[in-house]
Amino acid sequence: MDKNEVKIVIAKRVSKEFKDGDVVNLGIGLPTMVANYLSPDIDVILQSENGFVGLGPAAEAGQEKKYIVNAGGQPVTIKSGGAFFDSAMSFTIIRGGHVDATVLGALQVDQEGNLANWKIPGKMVPGMGGAMDLVVGAKKVIVAMEHTAKGAPKILKKCSLPLTAVQQVDLIITEMGVMEITPQGIVLKEIHPEFTVDDIKAATEADIIVAEDLKPMEI
């Protein structure tokens, strides 16, 4: 898989996690791509933390409106039936448990469900933006990312970077497979046909428990 195929595999698989009526927040970058693969048979309502629900596709060229942008600042659209609100309401929705799932990237995730994605001390400190609230408040936290960074594992026994939140991650979806965080550790539930369990173990620092009913990755 090339870089682009990797992203498509991840985005497609994430898109299967939702059901009709779910409210979902997609982070900037790869998670945003998930919107392209949602089934037309279900109504998934996308929340944009800068202040609306009903986030639609990117605005067409010439149709951009300066007052309809996503949390990354790109011109987007709002669907019929959507609603705008202020930042207090946006985080009432997020922190109050009214978001069914949030999909974010990560610098590191560990087998306790800890997540680090906002700071590399001394190098890069973009800030947490809405990520800390999203991870604490959403009913389900899905980390969607490439399995490794330049070959180095990102799924660790213990995060070494400053945490975004403690024990909040539920699911990790990479191009190699789908992993669930359980009290026993990380359980590999689905595997991409191009990889073996040993490939995944080699690319992961955390211990991997292989599910008894390990399935091929649903894409």
Partner 1 sequence: MNKIVSIEEAVTHIRDGMTVMVGGFLGCGSPHKLIDALVEKGVKDLTLICNDTAFPDAGVGKMVVNKQFKKIITSHIGTNPETGRQMNEKETEVNLVPQGSLAEKIRAGGAGLGGILTPTGVGTEVEEGKEKMVLDGKTYLLELPLKADVALIFGHKVDTKGNILYQGAERNFNPLMATAADIVIVEAEQTVAVGELDPNEVMTPGIFVNYIVGGDK
Establish if 140 lies at the interface with partner 1 (CB under 8 A).
no
Establish if 157 lies at the interface with partner 1 (CB under 8 A).
no
49 classed as catalytic: yes
Amino acid (1-letter code) at residue 138: A
Q: How far is 143 from 31, CA to CA, in rounded Å?
A: 9
User: Least distance to partner 1 from the beta carbon of 172, Å?
Assistant: 19
Lay out the site mask for partner 1 across 57-86 (x = CB under 8 A, - = otherwise).
--------xxxxx-xxx----x-xxxxxxx
The token pair at 15 is 């898109």
Whole-angstrom CA distances from 145 to 13, 30, 32, 39, 179 are 12, 7, 12, 21, 12
Question: For residues 12 and 98, which CB has a smaller minimum distance to partner 1 in the complex?
Answer: 98
User: Least distance to partner 1 from the beta carbon of 164, Å?
Assistant: 7
Stretch that binds partner 1, among 7-15, 102-110, 122-130, 191-199 (CB under 8 A): 122-130
Residue of 17, 49, 112, 190 marked catalytic: 49
Strands of the 52-58 sheet, one edge to the other: 76-84, 52-58, 45-48, 23-26, 101-104, 140-144, 171-173, 177-182, 185-191, 208-216
Question: For residues 21 and 57, which CB has a smaller minimum distance to partner 1 in the complex?
Answer: 21
Burial group, residue 205, by CB count within 10 angstroms (0-12, 13-18, 19+):
middle
Closest CA to 1 of 103, 106, 10, 37: 10
Q: How far is 185 from 193, CA to CA, in rounded Å?
A: 23
Establish if 49 lies at the interface with partner 1 (CB under 8 A).
yes
Establish if 25 lies at the interface with partner 1 (CB under 8 A).
no
| Positions that interact with partner 1 (CB under 8 A) | 20-21, 23, 43, 45, 47-54, 65-69, 71-73, 78, 80-98, 119, 122, 124-133, 136-137, 162-166
Tell me the catalytic residues: 49
